[in-house]
Structure 1
């Protein structure tokens, strides 16, 4: 309809027509503005994204302890809805994601929601274990040791991955066969015992003097103990450097 035809209509009808055009225009504008925003911002987090996040966390931890054996299982879960902002993901123990764990998912907009995902991971490491029962005070030999792949989720203390680091150490308590050896279960052997006659090596620059002494304390490698010089009868502080030998400077 032309402008002239609209102008010839009665005033009430013209007013009604213009009001209808006005409302239709605003409705169309609202649709054009709102629809693209919802499509661009709102998104549904997928199961694949959640699983990938857990696997990345577990694999990063495995690399930090030189493990190349990882297995991750994620329980079934549901995402409550879409989220306009990136979903926050928080592991129950991000520094040690092994064994049973919980991943908390949090969305802030368009409405707040939170859900928890249960998962389990196994990260195995080749650890040194007792090949046979070991008795307290026993000096460890190569034949006493073996290696076994162990899920680190069940080991709460430090452990050994090299047998040579245990050779010559002494068992501090009885150990059953197959048990993982930890620093709590072994100790350094006493290279010097109290009242033993020892060799005192005294160094100064390129000079080295040796003399006999009496150990006033027991000690292992690297320990500093009190020793009495037999010749001068003076008491000195010396470091246990070898079986039956202590070192000092003068």
Structure 2
């Protein structure tokens, strides 16, 4: 059975990991006005609602924007022989699931006292970033190199981008074919500091900021921690690369 819904997102955020693990989360759904008269229908209704709610929350958290979802429930055959539950069913997500196959434990807390594990196969179509043409290793990504295209993200394990701004200026780490979904593993930040380069060293301590000139002892990308030698004092310190030719000292000399 297929169900479609389109829901807008309100908060754009970068994704990190897509593997779902809602340990300890329990969803309780009250009976609908026209309560199903058999257990199989009860299970199907509550599992669909749970999957819809879960996907909607994920869409809002990860900033998908508009999306289209298709759900197909896989209910065990023994459900057809069970008596309808006389109390609201309790459904709990089974941990360590992937988006393309969500699994739930459905329990009847009434005298009937039965429990089923139900799977929900999903297809979630979302606009994601793909390569406009083949991108070669070492290439710095520009706006013309990528386009947005609707793809089923359920099997992607969270490895995709929602906006071009997330990848502009990054360097291609491995070849990306035309129309291929661009993911985090394929990219890296560009080199912002070369070994031996003169850099601006910025230090902040107790609300006071000072800067001086240093020499990078190692190549670095944004966020990398490298060793830098202070030209004036000849002291070598750890610093984090913050922008092209600029590093921030992590430890204040003499402190």
**Shorter-chain TM-score: which interval?**
0.5 to 0.7
Q: Deviations over 1:7-35 (max 9, x none)?
A: xxxxxxxxxxxxxxxxxxxxxxxxxxxxx
C-alpha distance in structure 1 between counterparts of 2:201 and 2:119, whole Å:
62
C-alpha distance in structure 2 between counterparts of 1:156 and 1:244, whole Å:
35
User: TM-score, with normalisation over the residues of structure 2?
Assistant: 0.65
Secondary structure at 2:46's aligned position in 1?
Answer: helix
Deviates more, 1:177-186 or 1:71-80: 71-80
What is the Cα deviation at residue 72 of structure 1? 2.2
Structure 1: tracts of 5 or more residues without a match: 1-42
Who is 1:58 aligned against?
51
Distance 1:112 1:194, change over 3 A: same
- Number of corresponding residues: 207
C-alpha distance in structure 2 between counterparts of 1:104 and 1:95, whole Å:
13
Matched, 1:240 2:247: no
Deviates more, 1:186-195 or 1:240-249: 240-249
C-alpha distance in structure 2 between counterparts of 1:229 and 1:102, whole Å:
57
C-alpha distance in structure 1 between counterparts of 2:131 and 2:116, whole Å:
44
C-alpha distance in structure 2 between counterparts of 1:98 and 1:210, whole Å:
50
User: TM-score, with normalisation over the residues of structure 1?
Assistant: 0.66
C-alpha distance in structure 1 between counterparts of 2:56 and 2:110, whole Å:
35
C-alpha distance in structure 2 between counterparts of 1:83 and 1:136, whole Å:
59
Structure 2: tracts of 5 or more residues without a match: 1-35
Q: How does 1:14-29 map to 2 (within 5 A)?
A: none
Who is 1:21 aligned against?
none
Higher helix share: 1
Question: Could you tell me whether the CA contact under 8 Å between 1:218 and 1:225 is conserved in 2?
Answer: yes
Q: How does 1:135-214 map to 2 (within 5 A)?
A: 135-202=136-203, 208-211=210-213, 213-214=214-215
Question: Could you tell me whether the CA contact under 8 Å between 1:58 and 1:97 is conserved in 2?
Answer: no
